[in-house]
Amino acid sequence: MKKVALLGSSGGNLFNLGGKYPHKLISEIIIQLNAAEIEVSDLIFIGTDTSMDKITDDTMAQIYTLNNGTIVNSNLDKLNIINDKAIELDKALASKIVAQELDGIIYVSADPEGINDASVKAAVEVGIPVTGTGGTAMGKIQASGVRVIAMSGTTGTTNRTRAISVASAFAKEFNLKYSPVIGKIDSGKDQSNIFKRINIRGIMMSSLPGFIAMALILAISKIPAFSGLSTVFDLLIAALPVIVATIAAYQISGLEEVGIVSGIIAGALSVDGGIIGGILAGIIAGILAIYLIKISFRWNVPGTTANIIAGGISGLIAGLLVYFLLAPIAVTIGDGIRNVIQAALDFNSILAGIVAGALIWPAIMGGIYHAAILPIVLLEMEANGMSFLGAIDMVALVMVSAGITLGNILFPINQEDRAIALPGFLINVIFGTFVEAAYPFMLSSKIVFWGAIVSGAIGGAIVGFFNVQGTAYVPAIVAPALSNEGVGMLIAMVTSLIIGVIVVYFANKGKKID
């Protein structure tokens, strides 16, 4: 493997753009270089507790080095003491450069006329390829005669995009194959195939808080004193495509802030396409962002400009594509799904509730709830802030789980079951989630398993009878207030809870309690 050294500091402007977290900055560079089969063999990096534009005699710092490939840092000390140690390490590194034991150098907000003077002079002597960031420092390094193969400022960049820039430059210099590592850097998985990162379920789950905020505003706006919030509700509905587009672009591009900007631009232009249009725009923007940044660095475009291209241009292209072409298609699909649900309710709302309530447990235990049902819930909520399937979720899942866990608190087979059930019951009631708390009891008893399905079906029938629309993933105690039929929602919830308790009572009846 080619070996390079990483030298520099947390910098001035860089401090506010990732330099504040040296370990993450260094790790990003190492990971991207490793993807190109390049090893960071030497590290001399000074991290301060403030921007170097504001250093004083009391500024504290640490020096980061490598120990058998592991990043280690010294104890905090005065900056001038840390600088003296770094100068000695830089002189030692200069000897390795002259001995041609290194293949390249990376300077990140370095000090070419001070701390890094020895290594810069050695780089000039042997003509070793150098890349890095920090406009002023890199300008001085290049002016001194160093063979700089790529350089950029820090404005508008992130730790990841700077690392990709460095790896791209060396891969081109050494004629190595390189594809940026995207996604969570600690995942331990190859995430270079961007199309495998398209996950509708992940996008929907991450966007859920935005839908819940919308539902809460809708509920509050029903109070006469807060009726003016209805305009806020309309704004939140319009913002939903922006939310899902931003999440999609962020997750798919893996470019952190650059992906966020790309998604916001794409989402703002796709509001007429609803959340399906927003998702499409975000996916396209995320894909374009990573390809545009790769192309930019391949053409030696400076990092700041590359980030503008990746974040701005990708968002514009994706957003305009949805705005002019895909929005009508997206709206038609969304309306079609909502119309199917409404048609089922119009045909027989009680039957629709029974079927939905009975099938929702097999759906979630079979792993298709988040992939199929949750997106439909959010599509329904996009129209008016509430959902038929959202009400089914609360009644047939959350309250049934609460009933099963409450039953095992009141009528446990042993004290261990009571200890397991109590947290599950509280979380379901207080937070409106964690239906998995019922799994141990459902899987250990056929009576409880089938009782959960029956309880869900009965609760669903009541939802259908009252034509209830509600919201999932909210505290159970406020769910009736967030529905269109508070009384009907409350009856359905309490019924499912009570049936769940009764089912557990008969399932556990006659068994000895420890």
Q: Give me the pLDDT at residue 226, please.
A: 81
Q: Give me the pLDDT at residue 190, please.
A: 46
Residue where the block lists tokens 């399905």: 453
Distances (CA, A) of 430 to 210, 371, 461: 19, 25, 24
Q: Give me the pLDDT at residue 367, please.
A: 72
Q: How far apart are CA 268 and CA 392, in angstroms?
A: 32
Q: Give me the pLDDT at residue 511, please.
A: 65
Q: Give me the pLDDT at residue 236, please.
A: 85
Give how far the C-alpha of residue 92 lies from the chain's centroid of Cα atoms, to the nearest Å: 42
Q: Give me the pLDDT at residue 185, please.
A: 43
Residues forming a β-bridge with 78: 60
The full DSSP string for 284-306 is: HHHHHHHHHHHHHHHTT--HHHH
Q: How far apart are CA 265 and CA 242, in angstroms?
A: 8
Which residue ranges does the chain devote to CATH 3.40.50.10090?
2-174
Could you tell me the two tokens for 473?
């993933």
Q: How far apart are CA 230 and CA 292, in angstroms?
A: 41
Q: How far apart are CA 421 and CA 406, in angstroms?
A: 7
Residues forming a β-bridge with 133: 108, 152
Q: Give me the pLDDT at residue 469, please.
A: 92
> Which spans in 299-326 are helix H?
303-308, 314-321
How many other CB atoms sit within 10 Å of the CB of residue 221?
18
Phi, psi at residue 440, to the nearest 5°?
Answer: -55, -35
Q: Give me the pLDDT at residue 183, please.
A: 58
Q: What is the pLDDT along the chain (514 residues), one digit of tens a residue?
A: 899 999 999 888 888 888 888 999 999 999 999 999 999 999 999 999 888 888 887 889 999 999 988 999 999 999 989 999 999 999 999 999 999 999 999 999 999 999 999 999 999 999 999 998 887 888 899 999 999 998 877 777 888 888 988 999 999 999 999 888 875 444 444 455 677 778 887 888 888 888 888 878 877 887 788 888 888 888 888 888 999 999 999 989 888 888 999 999 999 999 999 889 999 999 999 999 989 988 888 887 877 788 889 889 999 999 999 999 999 998 888 888 888 888 988 999 999 999 999 999 988 887 777 767 878 888 888 877 788 999 999 999 999 999 999 999 999 888 888 888 999 999 989 888 888 899 999 988 999 999 999 999 999 999 999 999 998 888 888 899 889 999 999 999 999 999 999 999 999 886 654 4
Q: Give me the pLDDT at residue 191, please.
A: 53
Q: Give me the pLDDT at residue 325, please.
A: 93
Q: Give me the pLDDT at residue 357, please.
A: 92
Give yes or no for a contact between 363 and 373, defined as CB atoms under 8 angstroms apart.
Answer: yes
3-state helix, strand, coil in the chain (%, to 5): 70, 10, 20
Domain 2-174, what fold?
Rossmann fold (3.40.50)
Give yes or no for a contact between 146 and 123, defined as CB atoms under 8 angstroms apart.
Answer: yes
Give yes or no for a contact between 511 and 413, defined as CB atoms under 8 angstroms apart.
Answer: yes
Phi, psi at residue 61, to the nearest 5°?
Answer: -150, 165
The full DSSP string for 429-497 is: HHHS--GGGGHHHHHH-HHHHHHHHHHHHHHHHHHHHTT--B-SSS-GGGGGGGSS-HHHHHHHHHHHH
Q: Is 227 exposed, middle or buried (0-12, 13-18, 19+ CB in 10 A)?
A: exposed
